Amino acid sequence: MREILRLTNVTKYYGRGSVVTKALDGISFGVREGEFAAIMGASGSGKSTLLNVIATIDRASSGDICIRGKHLSGMKEKELAAFRRDELGFIFQEYNLLDTLTIGENIMLPLNLKREALRKTEEELERVAAALGIKDQLGKFPWELSGGQRQRAACARALITAPALVLADEPTGALDSRNSRLLMETFAMMHEKLQATVLMVTHDPVVGSYAERVLFLKDGQIWSEVNRGGRTRKEMYQAILSATAALGGETDVF
């Protein structure tokens, strides 16, 4: 499959003068179309910075980021805003659902902001809601749903525009263990039924074990990676723990 995301020698500095921090140090990797990849590492390793520069929330100091054949470094702010809207989906710890809108209205919001035709919007709503098993919840309001159901709705909203890449920042951080498991099963459905391309940051090896590939960051660099290959999810979990131990036991495992 073709690459959806390609980073080439991406570096990010913060500060100026004699006080400069290198948050990312020459990072290069790619994510294939339909792949579910995860980023792990200790606090301060560069996970959030990496996600932010890919998400166009921040700009890399040097290097190249290419998403679906489009190079971010040459885009102006207005172009980046449109690119972010059209090509990227976001799933965060907080659901960011509007309490005054129904679940269906929340999910359709990105297409409504793009002024898509009502028929297309309704067809896409049907598609993602059916795939993620929330058709029966569309008429309800966010406060009527469980945490896991709200996060599933947030996933549907991220997917309704058929983005090139879905970025997930600690998506289970606000959930208990049961709802975390349900959400990760939703991610598996996104991957299998909708062929979504997902890049997720997580501190949790259980959550990471759902991914096909886990990249470990240390001091702003890719230190190692674990690929699923023929591993079961339990074997993937053990491989992540082994990589964590080799990293020095510093990954945020708690």
pLDDT of residue 73: 87
Per-residue pLDDT of the chain (254 residues; tens, 9 = 90+): 789 999 999 999 998 777 888 999 999 999 999 999 999 998 888 998 999 999 999 999 999 999 999 999 889 999 999 899 889 999 877 778 999 999 999 999 999 988 889 999 999 999 999 988 899 999 999 999 988 888 889 999 999 999 999 999 888 887 788 888 888 888 888 888 888 999 999 989 999 999 999 999 999 999 999 999 999 999 999 999 999 888 875 544 43
State the Rg of the chain over Cα.
18
Backbone angles phi, psi at 61, to 5 degrees: -75, -35
Amino acid symbol at 160: I
What residues contact 250, with CB distance under 8 A and at least 6 apart?
41, 42, 218, 244
pLDDT of residue 249: 59
Domain map (residue ranges) of the chain: 3-247
pLDDT of residue 26: 95
Determine which helix (DSSP H) or strand (DSSP E) holds 243, and give its type and residue range: helix 233-247
pLDDT of residue 179: 81
Helix or strand or coil: residue 235? helix
Backbone angles phi, psi at 82, to 5 degrees: -70, -40
Q: How far apart are the first and last CA of the chain?
A: 35
Q: Which among 111, 184, 108, 124 is positioned nearest to 151, based on CA atoms?
A: 184
pLDDT of residue 253: 43
Is 97 in contact with 150 (CB distance < 8 Å)?
yes
Correct CATH for 3-247 of 4.10.640.10, 3.40.50.300, 2.40.160.20, 3.30.160.110: 3.40.50.300
Q: With helix as H, strand as E and coil as C, how does 101-169 read?
A: CCHHHHHHHHHHHCCCCHHHHHHHHHHHHHHCCCHHHCCCCHHHCCHHHHHHHHHHHHHCCCCCEEEEE
CA distance 72 to 87: 12
* Total H helices, total E strands in the chain: 8, 10
CA distance 27 to 10: 5
